[in-house]
């Protein structure tokens, strides 16, 4: 198992579709249940001809995901984590 990012397989339109059809509804549902999410939500997705499908949603970030995702972070990691605390 591994992780890599960024990928040319996800263009801006697909990323917006993932936000609109997967991530946004999950966060909206948590808010509606009075369980607002604060932290890192790791979405494991598979790309199919019909679009992105969810394999798992995890409220954490660890190896190997962190190794691929953290270099893409443009903000100070400490400040991001402190804002979540």
* pLDDT score, position 1: 67
What's the predicted TM-score (pTM) here? Answer: 0.81
- The pLDDT > 70 percentage for the chain reads 99
Distance CA 74, CA 4 (A): 17
For the stretch 2-29, pLDDT in tens is 778 888 999 999 999 999 999 999 999 9
pLDDT at 22: 97
Question: How confident is the model at residue 31, as a pLDDT?
Answer: 96
Across the chain, mean pLDDT equals: 91
């Amino acid at each position: 198992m591994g992780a890599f990012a960024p990928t040319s397989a996800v263009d801006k339109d697909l990323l917006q579709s993932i936000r609109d059809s997967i991530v946004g509804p999950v966060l909206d549902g948590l808010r509606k249940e009075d369980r607002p999410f604060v932290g890192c939500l790791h979405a494991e997705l598979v790309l199919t001809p019909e679009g992105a499908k969810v394999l798992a949603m995890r409220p954490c970030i660890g190896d190997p995901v962190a190794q691929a995702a953290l270099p893409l972070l443009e903000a100070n990691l400490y400040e991001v984590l402190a804002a979540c605390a």
